[in-house]
Amino acid sequence: MTETIAFPQGPIGHVSGRGLVLRGDDIDTDRIIPARFLKCVSFEALGEQAFADDRKELAGEHPFDQAVHQGASILVVNDNFGCGSSREHAPQALMRWGIRAVLGVSYAEIFQGNCLALGIPCATATPDQIRALQDAVAVDPTAEWTLDLQALTFSDGSTSQTISLASGSLDMLRTGQWDATGQLVARDVELTRTMAALPYLNGF
């Protein structure tokens, strides 16, 4: 699949696009991107390999393969999504497939951090709300949904649901500071001060 929408950049106020439902708790990063695809020195080819084994097993019936879902950009999942390995290849694969936001009950921490570093919001709602939203999204795969990071809602014009985001991530996404490198490098004076006070860096 070729990349159609640009990768996230700068402040993110909302993500709009078609929704895609992926049901199941504890979907681990080995499933999102099996280990054999980690054998690479660049992330480029990962989009096609997202959920490779699950897709093979379902022989064309996996949501990532169904024609109607091509171009969808908001993934609606259940509980503890992205558990397991720390591989950033997992969100990279999702992003390169076309995903720009995830909505679910909860996420594994490292996965959530990795998404944030790519500018992909991981929004949450209660299990009941998620189930209802998954049904709503599944009813009409062509509907356009908006995950609004200002109003904290997920809606398609007729259905609307309140969502949450960890406050730190929310600010970083809204202000465009989710790409942390610049901020971290900028505080080198403070960093040097911290280092000077650490016993193990100074002969104890």
Partner 1 sequence: MSSGTLYDKVWDLHCVADLPGGATQLFIGLHLIHEVTSPQAFAALDEKGLPVRCPERTVATVDHIVPTISQERPFSDPMAEEMLSTLERNCARHGITLNGLGSGRQGIVHVIAPELGFTQPGMTVACGDSHTSTHGAFGAIAFGIGTSQVRDVLASQSLAISKLKVRRIWVGNRLTDGVFAKDLILHVIRTLGVKAGVGYAYEFAGPAIEVLSMEERMTLCNMAIEGGARCGYVNPDQITFDYLKGRAEAPVADIWDRAVAWWSSLASNDDATFDDEIHFDAAAIAPTVTWGITPGQGIGVDERVPVSEQLDPADRPIAEEAYRYMDLAPGQPIEGVPVDVCFIGSCTNGRLSDLQAAAAVARGRHVAEGIKAFVVPGSEQVARAAIKEGLDEVFREAGFEWREPGCSMCLAMNPDRLEGSQISASSSNRNFKGRQGSASGRTLLMSPAMVAAAAIAGRVSDVRQLS
Interacting residues toward partner 1 by CB under 8 A: 24-26, 28, 30-31, 34-36, 38-43, 53, 56-57, 79-80, 83-89, 91-92, 106, 108-110, 113-114, 117-118, 166-169, 171-172, 175, 177-178, 180-181, 183-185, 187-188, 190-191, 193-195, 197-201, 203-204
Give the span between the Cα atoms of 159 and 59, in whole angstroms.
Answer: 32
Nearer to partner 1, 67 or 200 (CB): 200
Nearer to partner 1, 157 or 199 (CB): 199
Minimum distance from CB of 98 to partner 1 (Å)?
A: 19
Give the span between the Cα atoms of 173 and 183, in whole angstroms.
Answer: 14
Give the span between the Cα atoms of 75 and 99, in whole angstroms.
Answer: 7
Q: Are 121 and 131 in contact (CB under 8 A)?
A: no
Minimum distance from CB of 79 to partner 1 (Å)?
A: 7
Nearer to partner 1, 88 or 156 (CB): 88
Give the span between the Cα atoms of 139 and 68, in whole angstroms.
Answer: 12
Minimum distance from CB of 23 to partner 1 (Å)?
A: 9
Q: Are 122 and 129 in contact (CB under 8 A)?
A: no
Minimum distance from CB of 13 to partner 1 (Å)?
A: 15
Q: Are 33 and 89 in contact (CB under 8 A)?
A: yes
Nearer to partner 1, 110 or 143 (CB): 110
Minimum distance from CB of 58 to partner 1 (Å)?
A: 12
What one-letter code names the amino acid at 135? D
Annotate 4-16 with DSSP letters as a single string: -SPPP-S---EEE
